Chains A and B, each alone.
Chain A
Amino acid sequence: MREKRVVVFFVSLLLILASGFMLFAGGKQEKTTGTSAPKEKKMVMAMVTNQSGLGDQAFNDATWAGFKLAEKKLGITPKVMEAREQAQYVPYLSTLAEQKADLIVGVGFMIQDAVKEVAEMYPDLHFGIVDGTVKLPNVASLHFREDQGAFLMGAIAAKMTKSGIVGFVGGMSTPITNRFEAGYRAGVMTANPKVKVLVSYAGTFADPAKGEEMAMAEYNQGADIVFQVAGQTGMGVINAAKKVNKWAIGVDRDQNYLAPDNVLSSMVKRLDIAVFNAIKMVVDGKFKGGIYSYGLKEGGIEIAPTTSKHVPKEVLDYVNMLKDKIIAGEITPPATLKELESYKPPKI
């Protein structure tokens, strides 16, 4: 009998607590819905990050900058979802689709399959994919000519190296990072064929410690400039450059501020411009699926403005000359490692 009482007591306690909780919750909800009603409905645009997440100082942050710009200029409501796990891409995207977001942008090549799956399920919604290709009428695929930018970085590295050895640290070995590598090595070859290039891949975009290890190994082998294309992992490369006081080259954004005395240059991918343009298409009601390619010509790839801090004028002039030739179509940097094999540096 006594035990029964104990149970009854506990159950009633739980019920009281639970109902109190509900009342508290219910009361507050009314208030919030009351205040938010009169506002005009804004367009909601969302992005889903890759495993690096926001704060990678590169890829995701640059895309997010495009959303923030659109918030200011076009008055949209930007949303970001950080997907740390590849397995969660589909539920993330479809949750946003279910919320009827006006544009859903997946960031990074790895999310490509998931965007395709969800875009097929929701043919009336607009999707974007950065660095990937989805051939559907409701998906805009935003491509960048990394080969062109990496080519210029290679030229800078080859002109600036004192040891005659330069390095490259990639995140995972994907077609995109391979494109960087191909362009970079071709750039080195073009500017100074005698310079040796060390290449390593960390196998992850999310591990700065591993990036530091990889970069240290390359510096120890005599490299004095290392180009990182590795997301969060690349933060470790820049740390390593600081520690041994050698050069690093940044990626995606102007990363000079991370280590002002050790970041020689950065290959800037104007993801913000590309994403902003995609958002504008939706706002203007002119969205069209297909591939949008951003290179030097379109202003989608740039040399970081801080490059002039450490790079002397004659080198900069040389690099700008290469840039003009690429834009004019006189030089075509290799876009894959296969093309690199048959690449012959042009006479300049």
Chain B
Amino acid sequence: MSRNINESVLTAFKVLVAIFLAFLFGYIVLYIMGYDPVVAYGSLIKGAFGSKRGFAETLISTTPLIFGSLGFILAFQCGLFNMGLEGQIAIGGIVAAYLGYTIPGLPPFIHITICIIGAAAGGALWGLGPGFLKARFGIHEVIGTIMMNYIAFDVSSYLVSTHGPMKDRLTDMPASPFIHDSAKIIRIWKGTRLHWGIFLAIFFSFVVWFLLFRTRIGYKLRAVGKNQFAAEAGGINVPRYMILAMVLSGLFGGIAGGVEILGIHYRLFAAFSPGYGWDAIAVSLLGLLSPIGIIGSAFLFGFLRSGSILMQAIAGVSKDMISVITGVIIFFMGMSDPVGNFIKDKLLRKLYGNSV
């Protein structure tokens, strides 16, 4: 038991080192590029935490990242790579917006629930397709999900284009009508856009953790992920669990999109998600594929996203710089094992002798 604790402390430490090294690297790059790194990082932090609105925006970006990452983890624990989260988010948003403005006169709680269930179902459907193709015909899920992305993107931009069926006729904007007030997720912090979704996201993190690690379904799902042949020999219906994993994965993608529409935008427009589905992959890996760990890494990415705006405004640093830093974090994460072992072997041996 004590060994387990130490190991998790060590892994957590590795993550922190990776983050730290990435920021150090970013510091050097900023310096070389002729920016003042102190001003840049200062405004990054100030932008994300320095004001009520900035902090709220951090949490707002964190919310869909948590949902998306939960989706990614569920597929990944089953050995599947869901590259289709961005598309599933788009579908979730479409369904949520549609249910949000077509159904009138419901009490808020019921209306929001219906919209979120609809969004989840839409996302699940979008995951079912590639999951089925993978399980039944062995078509690689990366190809399947990426193709489904293109369909989702083009469907959503068609729906709100000039002659599209969901286009709001009252305005020139290529967007759907606004959802009814009863479908809007209540904002919890006056003067900001922060809404209940963040608590829902954290709640679902624990639900997914429980599902994966404390239920038979989760056990079987992970068994397929560890070794599908061994799982099959052990009597697990592998195709069924593959499909289930993709459906659950898409379901959370759909919820991410639905909550984003119901909580922030209140209407559908094309590409309403600024790449949350792609960031979710990095968030999941940084969160060590743990449904609890991703709460932290999603917060980090939310911080970078919201802070980068002020960084651009004050220090003039393009927000592409943030993409560089996140890329480097992932890179150092991958490097952390060999680097960690190197430190352990060379440095600690010298300090403590061969007994380490």
Out of A88, A90, A173, name the residue touching B161 (CB < 8 Å). Answer: A173
Given A7-B10, A203-B157, A90 and B47 contact (CB-CB distance below 8 Å): no
Q: B274: which A residues are within 8 A, CB to CB?
A: 84-85, 87-88
Which partner residue on chain A sits nearest B36 by CB separation? A32
**Which residues of A lie under 8 Å from residue B17 when comparing CB positions?**
10, 14
A110 contacts chain B at the CB level, 8 A cutoff? yes
Q: Does B247 contact A (CB under 8 A)?
A: no
Contact B271 A3 (CB under 8 A): no
In the complex, per-residue mask of B294-323: 1 if CB is within 8 Å of any chain A CB, else 0: 000000000000100110111010110000
**Contact with B173, one of A2, A99, A113 (Cβ below 8 angstroms):** A113
Q: Which residues of B contact A245 (CB under 8 A)?
A: none
Scan A93-135; emit 1 where CB is below 8 A from any B CB, else 0: 0111011000000000110110000000100000000000000
Across the interface, do A9 and B351 meet the contact criterion of CB distance under 8 Å?
yes
Q: Is B106 an interface residue (CB 8 A)?
A: no
The size class of the interface chain A forms with chain B is 35 or more
Which A residue sits closest to B274, measured CB to CB? A85
A-B contact pairs, 30 of them (CB 8 A): A3-B3, A4-B6, A7-B13, A10-B10, A10-B17, A11-B13, A14-B13, A14-B20, A21-B24, A25-B41, A32-B36, A32-B39, A46-B313, A79-B313, A79-B316, A81-B313, A84-B274, A86-B270, A86-B271, A87-B273, A90-B193, A91-B306, A92-B309, A95-B47, A95-B310, A98-B51, A98-B53, A98-B54, A99-B310, A173-B162
The reply to whether the CB of B138 lies closer than 8 angstroms to some CB of chain A is no
Q: Chain B interface (Cβ within 8 Å of chain A)?
A: 2-3, 6, 9-10, 13, 16-17, 20, 24, 36, 38-39, 41-42, 47, 51, 53-54, 57, 157, 161-162, 172-175, 191, 193, 264-265, 269-275, 306, 309-310, 312-314, 316, 318-319, 344, 348, 351-352, 355-356
B318 with A28: CB separation less than 8 A:
no
Given contacts A10-B10, A82-B318, A98-B53, contact A172 B309 (CB under 8 A): no
The chain A residue with its CB closest to the CB of B6 is: A3
What residue in chain A is nearest B2 (Cβ atoms)?
A3
Q: With A85-B274, A174-B172 as given contacts, are A18 and B13 in contact (CB-CB < 8 Å)?
A: no
Is B352 a contact partner of A32 (Cβ separation < 8 A)?
A: no
- A5 near B: Cβ within 8 Å? yes
- Chain B residue nearest to A176 in the complex (CB): B172
A7 touching B271 in the complex, CB below 8 Å, given contacts A18-B20, A174-B172: no
Residues of B close to A178: CB separation below 8 A: 162
The digit string for A166-179, where 1 denotes a CB below 8 A from any CB of B, is 00000011110010
> Nearest chain B CB to A45's CB is how many angstroms away?
12
B57 and A91 form a contact (CB under 8 A): yes
